A and B are shown apart, each in its own frame.
Chain A
């Protein structure tokens, strides 16, 4: 994808990631922002501020924009929500503020009753896929792939580059495994008729 062509398109997107402490939620947000940056966009990623407790619900946010991002506020009305653990649905209002037509990328084999026509649901068994590639049921890169495939906000090659750079210090094996996971996630494209601009 042509970087310049991409960056000339005026866009502003906000994404919210939900997960648990220890699931790589903040890393997922960082990778998304890194990829957008690779693609020539301005981007920003940050966690929900506070101390992270292992197993406790965690949130992280991403902004992608064709113009400079100056505000440092939290994200309140996201264009997409990525849910790394379907168990969170029982307690957290995960869809709060999500825009009409917004995308929900959910780590689950089945759609847990999201018949709401206001949103687009992408459900995929990301933990299983993650475990297959990484040996641990880490869903984050898989979900990123699915998010990318269903939005075209970032390119797959940029995500791969982001993974390569971000995880370089962890060794080539881990980079490769994550890229494989990412690619498999990228294969999950929505049944819906069109992708969001």
Chain B
């Protein structure tokens, strides 16, 4: 049944439906409402799980590492500084091929310290070996939790569901939560073959040397490659069962005959769709492509979608300092590899919570001046906030 839920609560309810046995977390804005809700569920007896208040994010990540290694389904969530403090452990989880699922409530990274949303934190972990799904709405955030456990456990890869802090975590909007039986149907109980168990004493996390370390990494890479069809397939299966799909790897919007494609990740794509509709109404051939799965990077699928585009604009809320737009750079590489030479405009904005409003997105589209020679990206213009009451009439 559809309910109006805060994003954090929707995610917590969805996690709860996945029957995690261990939840560990350390509070950080804007992740807190997720773990607070889970804590309340445990206190009320609505969720049978061990809820562990860690002493740091480093501890929280390590707790879920241990929990999954011991064969339990586990959950954690963090953001920003907390995600970076987890970094060493997150690489380790991925290297151990433990199917951990976590939420990153996307937030800027300090200094200067800033609690508002951008993608700088999770993008910094892009090379860690985690699957990363960037969600657009609270509905998708909730559904993606259920998909994430299925994907993680099927691929033995950890999954990070990235949802924009505040824009999603703190926003109430309609969410349809599935019933427990349906989720149980979709997501079988977790059986971890390599679980630590005296009846089958195995060693996890041993040392490796030059003659085989690289093979661990190539195996991870292969697993990532293999995960792409799995992600697609489970999204389709989810659609069959629950009547909702989120695009699997990529979600296209009005791409038919689109000459210009606006591409981006996360909640900003809602506004992008509104802009696309408006521009289409004005006769512009514009479409949108949402990159839901950033890791594994769906290079081939992207090339297929974008083969006909004449103008590609990538909007992204992170910057690789010293290089520029991360998604744009990877997209250029992918298109180049596919022999598509359409230039990719890289527009960076929304850092530290700056609002990428429909007006800003439209302005980005309308900007026709050439980028400075040699520039690989530009910053999005600012939204102009009216200080005085506007004289636009109420409808």
Residues in chain A within 8 A of chain B (CB atoms): 11-12, 29-30, 33-34, 37, 42-47, 49-51, 69-74, 76-77, 79, 93, 95-102, 118-119, 196-197
Contacts and interface: CB of A to CB of B under 8 A. Distances in A.
A102 B171 CA distance: 24
- Identify the 5 closest CB pairs spanning chains A and B, nearest first: A70-B270, A49-B166, A46-B171, A45-B172, A71-B271
Contacts of A29: 172
A74 B386 contact: no
B267 interface: yes
B179 interface: no
B170 A49 contact: yes
A75 to B, nearest CB: 10
Given A43-B173, A49-B166, A72-B168, A96 B355 contact: no
Contacts of B31: none
Given A73-B357, A100-B390, A50 B115 contact: yes
Contact of A42 (B165, B174, B274): B174
Given A49-B117, A72-B270, A98 B171 contact: no
B257 interface: no
A49 B165 CA distance: 9
Interface string B125-169: 000000000001100000000000000000000000000111110
A37 B164 contact: no
A43 B174 contact: yes
B98 to A, nearest CB: 32
A4 B168 CA distance: 28
17 contacts: A43-B174, A44-B173, A45-B4, A46-B167, A46-B171, A49-B166, A49-B167, A50-B116, A69-B173, A72-B267, A72-B271, A76-B385, A76-B386, A97-B386, A100-B390, A100-B391, A118-B391
B11 interface: no
Nearest to A26: B170
A47 B357 CA distance: 17
A70 B137 CA distance: 8
Contacts of A73: 271, 355-358
Interface in B338-395: 353, 355-358, 383, 385-395
Interface string B292-304: 0000000000000
Nearest to A95: B389
B294 to A, nearest CB: 19
B29 interface: yes
Label chain B's interface by main secondary structure.
Answer: loop
B273 interface: yes
A74 B354 CA distance: 10
A46 B388 contact: no
A172 B357 CA distance: 41
A79 B268 CA distance: 23
Nearest to A12: B395
A183 B172 CA distance: 24
Given A72-B164, A96-B387, A44 B393 contact: no
A43 B391 CA distance: 25
A77 B115 contact: no
A98 B385 CA distance: 12
Interface string B8-41: 0000000000000000000001100000000000
Nearest to A43: B4
B394 A101 contact: yes
B383 A76 contact: yes
B351 to A, nearest CB: 14
Given A73-B358, A93-B387, A100 B393 contact: yes
Contacts of B2: 37
A175 to B, nearest CB: 18
Task: Find the residue from B4, B353, B356, B393 having the highest chain A CB count within 10 A.
Answer: B4
Nearest to B360: A73
Task: Find the residue from A46, A70, A119 having the highest chain B CB count within 10 A.
Answer: A70
Contacts of B388: 96
Contacts of B171: 44-46, 72
A106 B194 CA distance: 63
Contact of A79 (B6, B136, B394): B394
Nearest to B172: A45
A67 to B, nearest CB: 10
Contact of B172 (A44, A97, A99): A44
A9 B393 CA distance: 19
A30 B4 CA distance: 9
A20 to B, nearest CB: 18
